[in-house]
Structure 1
Amino acid sequence: MHLSFRSLFFLCATSGAMAGGFVPLAQVHAQDRRTVVEPAMPENVCASVLPSGDTAKGAWKEETKLLQAAIDQCPSGGAVRLVKGAHGGRFVSGPLNMKSGVTLWVDRGVTLAAVSDPRAYDKGAGTCGTIAKKGGGCAAFITFEGTKGGGIVGDGVVDGQGGATMASQQPGHSETWWQLARRAQKDGGQQNNPRLIQAEQARELTFYRITLRNSPNFHVVLNAVEGATFWNIKIDTPADARNTDGIDPGASQDITIARSFIRTGDDNIAIKAGKGATHHISIVDDHFYWGHGLSIGSEVNAGVSDILVRNATLDGTTSGLRIKSDVSRGGLVTRVRYEDVCLRNNKNPLDFDTRYDKTAHGTKFPVFDSISLRNVTGGDGSLILRGYDQAHSLKVNFDGVRFSDAAKWHLENTELSIGPSGVSPGPAGLAVKPARGAAPDCAGRWVAFPATGG
């Protein structure tokens, strides 16, 4: 590690005032401002719906009409319950639009599958299911727009069928949603694949016990959402399924993701702020498996603040704890707190990088300030702390942080302060207080991905 004009390091071994105006840990406030408790299953079922069992071509259109009518006719506070019938427990549907106060309840043993016909999702330009200059040509499978209350619950499965062959208007041409995404990556252009769930300007949503899997694109996207609870949900998609983020809160506030299990082909979680500020997010008691990590960014130009990650495991994610941005979409990321986190089998257990796209141009400088890690334990891999420059340095506090001696530090333009419980190993060539006290019991916290109920 070399100190140069472009590299800036500050270390202090006190929990009091930190170098460069760093906010002491005791003064950092983060998390959902609501009082969040485990949700309950709905008491009022307005309709119980049986699958038709009709496998004829185009039968999904009638099933879609049946489901949408049940949602539309359900009063606020009620639930539409999908149940098994004589034909089994599989529904196949096109896009569904949720109503304020209405909950979709998917029973154990029931799968609500998204039809793999791009024409069902097309917004009118004929681009859904194609590679084009622009993306966004598909509606989501399930949409909450301007709604208040309601959500999706149950021990069943919502399946996006991203690995199913799409219906095609081109004779002899067959391709899955995920193959389309990979072809777009290889050949250039934008894939037009539907998201599984999209919430726009909605309030007080609840997702409880449900399994979401195999989305053609992102699984859950929140845009301008105020209040959402994810509790004991499972998101399950292959590691090589491109652009299948788990949960992406953007321009949103007061979001809790608790006691959930996520493995995907992209970011397990990605907190974004491209169209508005995102703040007061709690991520507690969660388990993450394959995927690109627990991320903030890359769009943070409107600002991200007051984020709490507590009691999480990241087992096999490519990056672990990750904050990413660049000068084309940077902004202030501040008051982010990681506590009691266990990591293993990560290429980059810590990846705080203000130069995410090395070729980016612009003047939206990323500033990562008041980032704190307390009782964080991991193995080897790269520990990346990269501020943009001396005027936009990364300010981070470590307190009781432990990694393998084989872990490699990559620090640049970083003001690193050390709390009373220390850090091990320290960056080469810099004298720091080693971690002390009993290490967290990570061995007892690793759990297998749970069985799903579909």
Structure 2
Amino acid sequence: MTDRLRYWGLLSIAASMTLCPAALAKDRRIVTEPVAPHDVCARPVPSRKNDTSTLQDAIDHCPAGAAVYLAKGGFLSGPLEMKSGVMLWIEGGATLFAIPEPTAYDTGLGYCGRIGGKGDGCRPLISFSKTRGGGIYGGGIIDGQGGAPMVGSTETWWQLARRAQNEGGNQNIPRLIQIDHAQDITFHGITLRNAANFHVAMNRVEGATFWGVTIDAPADARNTDGIDPGASQDVTITHSFIRTGDDNVAIKAGNNGSTRHISIIDNYFGWGHGMSIGSEVNSGVSDILVHGLTLDGTTSGLRIKSDVSRGGLVERVTYENVCLRGNRWPIVFDTRYDPHAQGDSIPTYRQIVLRHVRGDKGALMMRGLDQKHTLEVTLDDVRFADSATWQIENTNVILGRSGVSPSLPGRAAGPLPSGLEECAKAFRSR
């Protein structure tokens, strides 16, 4: 782990115990820092071979409210299924490694580790399916080994993903953690790294907290999203460090349901594709708060992306106290993410507010679909370098009292408030 990651871990420990006041947060729960479990039901010892059956047996026999505790050492495992109320506690100095063996994750059709017409041929390393309570705690590591050669091959999971992109087709690669039809799931202090595919994917989750989590993957590792809340509600991601080869966080809402009441508070994003909403927003995304976010070197910064093949209503999204540096596209609100897409699922973005946002150079894009389907965006105290360029099309921009710089085409910048040094301090402290 780099010195910067260690430092960020210290910041997480020292963070305040309670989040912003309820009036600020969009997550409707009162979220406080999770507490480590008091009871330990099992203390498995690594075998240096395959620990899957030992770990699964410990989880299966652990009572709700207790934890399976992994002390120092390296554990090697294939897919694990979590149980309601049971916690996996990985102590500092312990690492759970994912076995890079496609047959271990295969869903039964023999597709895992191959390129095919579909990409759902692998089970995840850790699954929370129809569970309530429980989660993953501790200062240890879960390593997906995305860069390790697959058993029986010289190719890694990441190389397979890149080959699928170049040759066409879908890679069948396991996600690190899948949370599906679950409630009240908690992650605290854990490091997730080198996932073969998404690090954390969520579907129909009601109540989830990610506090002091570190997610780390190479910038060129394809489809290694950090945390993707989909069809979910009442989710908080806070005091976390995320850098990946794809979206740092991506809020999605495909045909399986809407996503709403999400709080992204006091986080640091390194390389990756930024703080994203979309591209699937068919069922609607609403009531999102992004507060106290630093985006350092992400290709995109604040991004809402969709098109007519998967569009829908995105509304009541607030970004405030955001620092951006070294981003190619610091702001991208785009309804034509795939310019060749066809369909009648119109992307509509409204009640989007940017307040106290600071950045340097880059392209600032806001592009509505057409004059009948314009974007509605409010900018209040939004400041970028003079070299930054606005690209605005089919967008109704409302300027707040403190204005915007550089000025919008044909509009005045507004007064320059004090406090511009605060964003630079956020970068210097990392």
TM norm structure 1: 0.88
Superposed, 1:132-143 pairs within 5 Å as 132-143=116-127
Superposed CA offset, 1:60-86 (max 9, x none): 1xx1100000000000000000012xx
User: Tell me, what secondary structure is at the counterpart of 1:446?
Assistant: helix
Cα distance in 1 between the residues matched to 2:428 and 2:207: 29
Superposed, 1:415-430 pairs within 5 Å as 415-430=396-411
Report whether the alignment pairs 1:42 with 2:37: yes
Report whether the alignment pairs 1:174 with 2:162: no
Aligned residues: CA RMSD: 1.2
How many Å apart are 1:390 and its aligned residue? Answer: 1.1
Q: Which residue of 2 aligns with 1:160?
A: 144
Report whether the alignment pairs 1:147 with 2:142: no
Report whether the alignment pairs 1:194 with 2:174: yes
Q: Which residue of 1 aligns with 2:7?
A: none
CA contact (8 A) 1:51 1:83 kept: no
Report whether the alignment pairs 1:102 with 2:90: no
Amino acid at match of 1:403: F
| Higher RCO (C-alpha under 8 Å, 6+ residues apart) | 1
User: Tell me, what secondary structure is at the counterpart of 2:76?
Assistant: strand
From 275, 278, 287, the counterpart of 2:268: 287
How many Å apart are 1:432 and its aligned residue? Answer: 4.2
Amino acid at match of 2:311: G
From 142, 164, 167, the counterpart of 1:184: 164
Cα distance in 2 between the residues matched to 1:201 and 1:273: 14
User: Tell me, what secondary structure is at the counterpart of 1:310?
Assistant: strand
Amino acid at match of 1:123: T
Report whether the alignment pairs 1:392 with 2:387: no
Matched-pair identity in %: 61
Which ranges of structure 1 fall in alignment gaps of 5 or more residues?
Answer: 1-27, 54-58, 450-454
Cα distance in 2 between the residues matched to 1:435 and 1:223: 43
Cα distance in 2 between the residues matched to 1:242 and 1:387: 28
CA contact (8 A) 1:425 1:434 kept: no
How many Å apart are 1:372 and its aligned residue? Answer: 0.1
Superposed, 1:13-412 pairs within 5 Å as 31-53=26-48, 59-60=49-50, 63-84=51-72, 89-168=73-152, 173-274=153-254, 275-412=256-393
Amino acid at match of 1:103: M
Amino acid at match of 1:83: A
> Which 4+ stretches in 1 moved above 3 angstroms?
none
Cα distance in 1 between the residues matched to 2:428 and 2:186: 25
Cα distance in 2 between the residues matched to 1:251 and 1:290: 26
User: Tell me, what secondary structure is at the counterpart of 2:417?
Assistant: coil
TM norm structure 2: 0.93
How many Å apart are 1:427 and its aligned residue? Answer: 1.8
Superposed CA offset, 1:245-277 (max 9, x none): 000000000000000000000000000000210
Q: Which residue of 1 aligns with 2:14?
A: none
Cα distance in 2 between the residues matched to 1:83 and 1:428: 59
Amino acid at match of 1:118: P
Superposed CA offset, 1:397-429 (max 9, x none): 011110000001100000000011111111233
CA contact (8 A) 1:29 1:335 kept: no
Cα distance in 2 between the residues matched to 1:294 and 1:126: 35
